[in-house]
């Protein structure tokens, strides 16, 4: 790969960010006034949190943005020493530009320990004249209340299907590959609203293929064809336990799925079955129990076989 597409197609300005119109408008007004509160960006991965932070810094500081912007990944450096040393040292230094403050961006800040968050709370308060903090997280509930109350909270949403479709069309045109309409919808479903994941799937799929089909996408994304997953459930519901188990083992071996991956796909397909709703609810209950057992260390094949047996006994 000569270039990584996730970086190549990352929006360069705030206005280019897709799917977060209300957030973009508010952030643009902050840049226009050259003022910024502490920000807490919460939402699923691949929805534009890091991109917004980088674009914001570039538009505020211009060519000097690197000297006024510190990015730390809190999941790698999550202890109290990081806050006391790296963050505090950067926060106490005066800005090198006309803007009177610098920016510290803490990615995955929900991974910070509670002790580190308590130290960060005091740092945010003490150095508010010289530094602004942007905290990014998947779950804002894991951030302590004192920090949340000091921040303006922006909640990012997964991008809509039409927005992702336009992105796929743009990439296909620029990178000179074809993708069928069916494959486009499958790529969007596989990405689950995560733009980074979507772009990675497309780049990996096009390395040896100039035309993308659903088979190629399922192979690259290490997921089984949903039609085969549905067949497993239908056979189990029809009390064809042996055939259902054989097909399950075949799919797991051929597609290299773990037990948890298989259950996640199976859970998605339950709602597409033409069976009574009370049976769907019972199967969901079974999948939750079996998933817990697998995560706790039980044998995957035994537990998945037990799941199919429970479904067959409905």
- The answer to whether 258 and 300 have CB atoms below 8 angstroms apart is yes
- For residue 2, give the H/E element and its range: none
Residue holding tokens 């336009």? 166
Q: Give pLDDT, residue 130.
A: 86
Q: Structure tokens of 48?
A: 């534009």
Q: Structure tokens of 32?
A: 């226009």
Question: Residue 164: which of 15, 18, 52 has the closest Cα?
Answer: 18
Question: Residue 103: which of 59, 138, 145 has the closest Cα?
Answer: 59
Q: Give pLDDT, residue 81.
A: 65
Q: Give pLDDT, residue 287.
A: 93
Q: Encode the chain (314 residues) as per-residue pLDDT tens digits.
A: 457 888 888 888 898 888 888 999 999 999 998 888 999 999 999 899 999 999 999 999 888 888 889 888 766 666 666 667 777 777 777 777 788 899 989 888 888 888 888 888 888 888 888 889 999 999 889 999 999 999 999 999 988 888 899 999 999 999 899 998 889 999 998 888 889 989 999 998 888 888 888 888 888 887 888 889 999 999 999 999 999 999 999 988 888 888 898 999 899 889 888 888 888 999 999 999 999 999 999 899 999 999 999 999 98
Q: Give pLDDT, residue 296.
A: 92
Q: Give pLDDT, residue 1.
A: 46
Q: Give pLDDT, residue 222.
A: 76
- For residue 137, give the H/E element and its range: strand 131-137
Q: Give pLDDT, residue 143.
A: 92
3-class secondary structure for 17-64? CCCCHHHHHHHHHHHHHCCCCCEEEECCCCCCHHHHHHHHHHHHHHHH
Q: Give pLDDT, residue 80.
A: 67
Q: Give pLDDT, residue 78.
A: 60
pTM of the model: 0.81
Kindly list the structural domains of the chain, giving each domain's residue range(s) and its CATH number in brackets, ordered by start: 5-155 (3.40.50.300), 161-220 (1.10.8.60), 226-312 (1.20.272.10)
Distance CA 236, CA 243 (A): 8
φ, ψ of residue 310 to 5 degrees: the values are -65, -40
């Amino acid at each position: 790969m000569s270039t990584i597409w996730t970086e190549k197609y990352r929006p360069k300005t705030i206005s280019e960010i897709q799917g977060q119109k209300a957030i973009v408008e508010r952030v643009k007004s902050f840049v226009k006034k050259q003022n910024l509160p502490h920000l807490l960006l919460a939402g699923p991965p691949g929805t534009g949190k890091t991109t917004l932070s980088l674009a914001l810094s570039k538009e505020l500081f211009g060519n000097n943005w690197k000297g006024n912007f510190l990015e730390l990944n809190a999941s790698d450096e999550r202890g109290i020493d990081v806050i006391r040393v790296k963050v505090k040292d950067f926060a106490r230094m005066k800005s090198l530009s006309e803007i009177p403050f610098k920016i510290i961006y803490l990615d995955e800040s929900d991974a910070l320990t509670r002790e580190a968050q308590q130290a960060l709370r005091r740092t945010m308060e003490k150095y508010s004249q010289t530094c602004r903090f942007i905290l990014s997280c998947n779950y804002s509930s894991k951030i302590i209340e004192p920090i949340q109350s000091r921040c303006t909270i922006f909640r990012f949403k997964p991008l809509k299907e039409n927005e992702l479709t336009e992105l796929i069309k743009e990439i296909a045109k620029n990178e000179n590959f074809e993708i069928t309409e069916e494959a486009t919808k499958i790529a969007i479903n596989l990405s689950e609203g995560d733009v980074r994941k979507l772009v990675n799937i497309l780049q990996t799929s096009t390395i040896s293929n100039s035309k993308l089909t659903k088979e190629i996408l399922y192979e690259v994304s290490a997921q089984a064809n949903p039609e085969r997953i549905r067949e497993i459930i239908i056979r189990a519901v029809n009390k064809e336990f042996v055939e259902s188990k054989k097909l399950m083992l075949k799919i797991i071996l051929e597609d290299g799925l773990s037990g948890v991956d298989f259950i996640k796909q199976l859970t998605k397909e339950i709602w597409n079955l033409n069976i009574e709703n009370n049976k769907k609810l019972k199967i969901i209950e079974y999948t939750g129990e079996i998933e817990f057992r697998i995560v706790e260390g039980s044998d995957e094949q035994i537990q998945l076989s037990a799941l199919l047996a429970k479904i067959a006994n409905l």
